[in-house]
Each structure stands twice: as structure tokens, then as C-alpha cells.
Amino acid sequence: SKSPSPRQNMPVRYFIMKSSNLQNIDISQQKGIWSTTSSNEGKLNQAFWESSMVYLIFSVQGSGCFQGFARMSSAIGCEKSQDWGSSGLGGVFKVEWIRKESIPFQFAHHLLNPWNDSKKVQ
């Protein structure tokens, strides 16, 4: 019999990842990687180590849609990627895309974020 995962009884975490453009999302979907600002790295790495699963929900700024969601499949490392051409990004980490589809925010208006004054998730 298979032994249970050491993080099996830990919480699942969700993060909205905003991208400045659709090209970054396309690169992520093709290569299975993502990079974020250094200010987000600590929160994501902590969630990765203390949660059973970390889901990232992607949205391009100003698009009015989610572009899909992925599971974080590695911690954030020190290696940087030139794929995004932005010096403001930190280390690269692996993601496994689960759904690649444009979903308008209106389909999620019933979801409220209790950690952001119960504002709509978008």
C-alpha cells in the first residue's frame, strides 16, 4: 500500500497571479514555468511548503478575464529566466497547467475574498 503524502492533511491555497501581458501566459503554458516579483516569492514558497496544494489562477491585467489555472509544482528557485525579458521578476518555478481558457470575471462574481474586505475575486 502507498504511504500517504506528508502534506496530505494540510490546507489548499489559492493565489491570483496578474500578468502584464498575454505573451507571459503563453510562455508559461508552453514551458510549464512561471516567475513572479520578489515580493511574492516568500508568500508562494511558504504556501508551497506548508500546503497540500497551491493553485495559481492567472489573469492578464485589464483583460476582464481569467486565462486559466495551474498547480505550483516546485518551490521558487534562484535561477532567473530571460523568457519574460523583465528584470523585475525573481526566480523561476514549475507549474502544471490544469485549464487554459479565457473565463470572464462575471462567472466568478459570487466568489468573495474574506482577506480583501470581501471584494469580488478578479
Digit-coded pLDDT (tens) for 39-61:
899 999 999 999 999 999 999 98
Number of structural domains in the chain: 1
Domain membership of residue 30 (yes or no) is yes
Please count the other Cβ atoms lying within 10 Å of the Cβ belonging to residue 14.
15
Domain membership of residue 4 (yes or no) is no
Distances (CA, A) of 88 to 36, 38, 39, 67: 8, 8, 10, 22
Domain membership of residue 76 (yes or no) is yes
Show the domain range for 26. 12-120
Domain membership of residue 1 (yes or no) is no
CATH number of the domain encompassing residue 63: 3.10.590.10
Domain membership of residue 113 (yes or no) is yes
Domain membership of residue 94 (yes or no) is yes
119 pLDDT more than 70: no
Domain membership of residue 58 (yes or no) is yes
**28: phi then psi, degrees, rounded to nearest 5:** -60, -45
5 pLDDT more than 80: no
Whole-number pLDDT of residue 56: 95
The pLDDT of 91-110, averaged and rounded, is 80
pTM of the model: 0.81
Domain membership of residue 18 (yes or no) is yes
The pLDDT of 74-85, averaged and rounded, is 84
